[in-house]
Amino acid sequence: MSKSIKITAEDILKQVKFSLKIPEITEGIITRKIITAAVAEAGIEATTEELQKAADAMRAMNKLHGAKETWTWLEKHGLSLDNFEEIVRYTFLSGKLANHLFLNKVEPYFFENQLNYAGAVIYEAVLDDEDLAMELFYAIQEGEMTFYEVTHQYIQEQELRRSGGYRGIVKRRELKPEISAVVFAVQPPQVVKPIVTSKGVNLIFVEEIIQPELTDKLRYQILSELFDGWIKQQIAQVEVVKELNQKVQMA
């Protein structure tokens, strides 16, 4: 026999507090207010057609292919149709604001920081013994072993061992400075002399260096990074207000 449980607004608020998500929620509220104010100040608006396309995209993203699926999804998340339309509008205008603030700054930023977007196709084995790493390095150099044989023998993680230590395409800024300085200085394909880091002794095979290219995907990534940085700066400026509010609550 099923039981009926009543959930009140107070229950939901208490659960939010117990989930320890208040800081993230507070930051989300501040972010929304900052963006809404900036959109109004810049005079940014959305046409009915733009909002319809944005709504269609949001439904597609959430796999809401029909009215029934949409209403079920809204009910699940405690949203009304007006709430959904507000979310669509806010999301769309946020994107417009990002373009308004930073679209013409993406290309200059890329050329000033393009080294950070260079990539390297690498294979890696992390060892505990520096002497062993040097011994293996020279064995590879002299053709006594292949890098694959080294990784297959010395990597403990099963999937990584099966792939020969393949790390994929890594960006320069994703690597520790002491590693990136060496990796991006070699002429691939080449095994790098063991590098000691806090993680261990890194034995790396550089298969290819990929020069940075300002693709549409990277444009969007840089735009998002610039916009996120701007939001963080704006949030930092309202920190005093938050502290005053906390003092008022404690009084």
Instruction: Report pLDDT digits (tens) over 117-138.
Output: 899 999 999 999 999 999 999 9
Residue 1 resides in a domain: no
Give the span between the Cα atoms of 190 and 202, in whole angstroms: 14
As beta bridge partners, residue 205 has 123, 191
- Domain with 137 in it: what CATH number? 3.10.50.40
Same domain, 156 and 242: no
Same domain, 236 and 204: no
Give the span between the Cα atoms of 196 and 126, in whole angstroms: 9
Per-residue pLDDT tens over the stretch 187-229: 999 999 999 988 899 999 999 999 999 999 999 999 999 999 9
Domain total in the chain: 2
Residue 101 resides in a domain: yes
Residue 114 resides in a domain: no
Same domain, 70 and 147: no
Residue 4 resides in a domain: no
Residue 113 resides in a domain: no
Helix 22-42, helix 9-18: angle, nearest 10 = 110
pLDDT average per 10 residues of sequence, the chain (251 residues): 80 89 90 96 96 95 93 94 96 97 96 91 92 93 91 87 90 89 92 91 94 93 96 84 49 44
Same domain, 84 and 171: no
pLDDT of residue 101: 97
Residue 169 resides in a domain: yes
Same domain, 73 and 99: yes
Per the CB < 8 A criterion, the answer to whether 81 and 122 are in contact is no
Same domain, 130 and 80: no
Of 38, 153, 48, give the one whose Cα is nearest residue 100: 38
Same domain, 13 and 104: yes
pTM over 0.85: no
Same domain, 201 and 241: no
Element (H, E) at 96: helix 81-102
Of 47, 52, 72, give the one whose Cα is nearest residue 62: 72
Name the CA radius of gyration of the chain, rounded. 26
Q: Structural domain of residue 230, as residue ranges?
A: 9-108+219-250
Same domain, 44 and 64: yes
Same domain, 57 and 136: no
Same domain, 223 and 205: no
Same domain, 66 and 144: no
Residue 168 resides in a domain: yes
Give the span between the Cα atoms of 87 and 58, in whole angstroms: 10
Residue 3 resides in a domain: no
